[in-house]
Chains A and B, each alone.
Chain A
């Protein structure tokens, strides 16, 4: 609309700039804290400009860990987080594209039952069944293993529903043309369905990677050894020593490192991310 065009825009810019400020501020403070030494951070009057201890802090965080307690170096925790996030994302894509293919492209007894068995999982996040799941993992001797970290978190319907929804938009004629061209179920999947699903897979990957990376409660419970800790749970442990002794500059460096991979994924794969987010929630 034409009215007050200029003022309207100026107001919009002002509000949005303020919004971005709120959004960025905590991270900025953390970033600054990660460049100062412990004393500067703790005195309660930390400057708002970068300090000179950046390399030292990040080096210590990544390779050595905090000095006051036996802590894992963050480098290793990053590795664990990466394995877990990749495992969840890839695992979910594989199992859900297969099950969606079965449910959409075949007719067989108990098809609806199978679909509902999967569908119901949408309703209950892992948090509500946390201890019994823990017990299952313990019984299966999967505590402190990647399998234990990954498997319970891929038992959900989001991926299946997403692929199902996408498959439904593929014209039936494509399957019919493939059949006339002599392609069976395997060839159709490999030659047509998989290539067409690439974007959907990528979108799901982005969402699930972030989901997996950011898990907290589950890894907190089932990892007892420091060597299996993920970075998101590791930060908290850096702060559980009495507050004055906690090395905040290292914790903040760790926080920045913990944010980096998923935030990079959102920023650099923005379109896939938005698509994945919107479509998995439909």
Chain B
């Protein structure tokens, strides 16, 4: 898509671009290329000497069982959060789509958690499920359930998943609702005349027509789980216990900061970049297809 009516101007367009380009080059391209470069270096602890070591950082990384564990954790975490937040949001959205009088109120009530910072969301859930003082911990214990996310890795995972899902429902709800409202009523009416009941109509008409939204949200959710949940994990578990909630992004942070292994951390960054670029590419292909409709 291009404008056909434009201004002439030799210098002006460059001047207009300068601020964004300078910021992008200094704070995006320079560090990103540094990450790639660093991933081929070994630096001593004080950052005084560095040595080119080729793919050694990558080899070391891929030889680490912890790295595979972080990958597995990321996959589990992403799938749980995406599946739960998408299906819960879809359930709420289909209900809110039913021309209810109070639908606008429900809508506001559902979307505001989007504005809550992930770290804050984490703290809220940590407080509710805190093993010793949490409001929910007591009932759990009374039911004979030995709840302790500080020590039990599965419990810790459950807790960060809850916090992450809680925060993400708002976003998914909003997009699902928009998607539902974009489905023409007449199509559903035709379905009703053709004898499909509400349940059948949902699965044979609404859900397939909603699939572009669902797919889009799936990708966005995975990206969200990869990056935005850093705050939740850091606030709730700090990656523990025993690395049970250390995702790939968290590991980049932990290895670089706590371990001081900048080369290894950079190699992890590069791998993450590749994954994100792949995800984004998928998303763009989808967007392109959407545009062609």
Contacts and interface: CB of A to CB of B under 8 A. Distances in A.
Direct A/B contact, Cβ within 8 angstroms: yes
Interface of A: 1, 3-4, 8-9, 11-13, 15-16, 19-20, 22-27, 29-30, 33, 41-46, 48, 94-96, 98-99, 101-108, 111, 114, 117-118, 121-125, 127-133, 135-136, 140, 151-152, 154-156, 160, 167-168, 172-173, 175-176, 184-185, 188, 210, 213-217, 220-221, 232-233, 235-236, 239, 243-244, 248, 251-252, 255, 258-259, 262-263, 265-267, 270, 273-274, 277-278, 281-282
B276 interface: yes
A131 B35 contact: yes
A214 B118 contact: yes
A44 B31 contact: no
A30 B34 contact: no
Contacts of B143: none
B174 interface: yes
B23 A263 contact: no
Interface of A is mostly: helix
Contacts of A239: 123, 126, 235
B138 A45 contact: yes
Contacts of A215: 117
B9 interface: yes
B118 A136 contact: no
Interface stretch (B53-61, B62-70, B71-79, B101-109): B101-109
A33 B135 CA distance: 10
A106 B253 contact: no
Contact of A102 (B17, B92, B269): B17
Nearest to A216: B231
Interface string B9-42: 1101110110111011111111110110010000
A102 B120 CA distance: 39
B189 A185 contact: no
B117 A216 contact: yes
Contacts of A104: 3
Contacts of A101: 16
Given A16-B92, A136-B34, A168 B1 contact: yes
